[in-house]
Amino acid sequence: MQALLVDDNRIARSILIHMASDLKDLEIVCECSNALEAYQYMMEHPVDVLLLDIEMPGMNGLELTRNLGEKSPLIIFTTFRKEYAVEAFELNVVDYLVKPITLPRFTQAIDKARDILESQKEQIQWASDEFIFVRDSNIVRRLQLKNILYAEAMGDYVKLHTPEKMYAIHTTMRAVENRFPAEQFLRVHRSYIVNLSSIDTFQDGGLYIGKKFIPVTDSYRKQVNSRLNVL
């Protein structure tokens, strides 16, 4: 797994490089001190993961993410500031690390990226209103729709979460929403579709499926209240 490190602080770069050296399958192939330099590098040298600071001179990390668009690798933000977290996750980044970053927390973020990369080769085939076929490495598996807890948008992919595993599928949320049976699944956010039977609790800001909090935006709240028959 090849990574590009972008941070205007030399010491911060050194710390992350040292952490990365403890992970056998992670290679930092280049380090940049600003977002423009990183952008130019990625136009010629695609990478799997971008370890990206936010506050930098000139173009900041959020602006770089938007400019990359479809060419964006998986992004893990590394920053001293907590206040950009909501905006960052709206860009469907893998993780948001607040400095000082510990090795266990860094490893957790890299593990997330690895899981996504491993599942990106999986493809989806719609079969019926009860199940779909998902390509898992070289095996095509049947996946029961009732076992899908929720779907989550991530760039050009949609992550299908089940109790056992997450599948990253190259498709759009609109395609998933149109194909999932409406009586079973409900769009609650531009980035989330949930299985109604998997919802455990519902509150003003969102809902929980197990320990996973899923936001519900104002535009979908009335529909959610109606479908859940909330009194």
Identify the CATH number of the domain in which residue 153 sits.
Answer: 2.40.50.1020
Give the pLDDT score at 122: 47
pLDDT band at 130; cut points 50, 70, 90: confident
Q: Tell me, what CATH number does 20's domain have?
A: 3.40.50.2300
**131/24 same-domain check:** no
**102/63 same-domain check:** yes
Final residue of a structural domain among 102, 119, 136: 119
Final residue of a structural domain among 85, 119, 153: 119
**107/151 same-domain check:** no
First and final C-alpha spacing in the chain: 50
**Cα four-point dihedral sign 167, 171, 172, 175:** negative
Range of the domain at 13: 2-119
Residue 198 has pLDDT above 90, yes or no: yes
**97/170 same-domain check:** no
Instruction: Summarize pLDDT for 47-96 with one digit per residue, the tens.
Output: 999 999 999 999 999 999 999 876 789 999 999 999 999 888 888 899 99
Which of the residue ranges 59-63, 132-136, 183-187 has the most confident prediction, judged by mean pLDDT? 59-63
**64/151 same-domain check:** no
**173/65 same-domain check:** no
Instruction: Show the beta-strand stretches assigned E in 20-148.
Output: 27-32, 49-52, 74-79, 95-98, 124-126, 131-136, 139-144
Q: Is 196 or 129 the better-scoring residue by pLDDT?
A: 196
Find the mean pLDDT for residues 118-136: 61
**92/161 same-domain check:** no
Domain count, the chain: 2
The overall average pLDDT reported for the chain is 87
**12/35 same-domain check:** yes
**35/110 same-domain check:** yes
Place of tokens 């010491």: 11
**12/111 same-domain check:** yes
Find the mean pLDDT for residues 161-175: 84
